[in-house]
Amino acid sequence: MDLKLMLTTFGMIFLAELGDKTQLATMAFAAEGKSRIAVFIGAVGALSLTSLLAVVFGAAIAKLIPPNYIKAGAGILFVALGVWILFFPNGK
C-alpha cells in the first residue's frame, strides 16, 4: 500500500469535508437523535459507500481516458463552477 497516497487522500478529503453540508447534517442528526452511535455508523457507512463508488468509477474512467485529462477536466470544471457561483449567486 502507498502510505503517502493514503495520507494525502485522507488529508485532502478531511479538509474538504470540514464544515460542509454532510458534516452539518450529521451534527443535526446527532443533536436530535437518542443514539449517537447509530448516527456515527450511518454517516461512516454513507461516506464509505460514496468513496467506494468514486474509486470504482474513477478506476473505470481512467481505463478509457488518460488520468492527466481527467485532472485537467476536473480542474477546469472546478474553476468554471467557481466563476459561475461568483457571477450568478442565485443560480440563474
* Residue at 27 is within a domain: yes
Enclosing domain of residue 27: 3-64
pTM above 0.85, yes or no: no
User: Which of residues 72 and 92 earns the better pLDDT score?
Assistant: 72
* Residue at 69 is within a domain: no
pLDDT at 92: 65
pLDDT at 15: 87
What pLDDT digit, counting tens, does each position of 32-84 carry?
988 999 999 999 999 999 999 999 998 999 999 998 999 999 999 999 998 99
* Residue at 33 is within a domain: yes
* Residue at 14 is within a domain: yes
SS (H, E, C) 35-83: CHHHHHHHHHHHHHHHHHHHHHHHHHHHHHCCHHHHHHHHHHHHHHHHH
* Residue at 79 is within a domain: no
Average pLDDT estimate for 18-22: 84
pLDDT at 19: 79
* Residue at 78 is within a domain: no
* Residue at 75 is within a domain: no
* Residue at 91 is within a domain: no
The domain total for the chain is 1
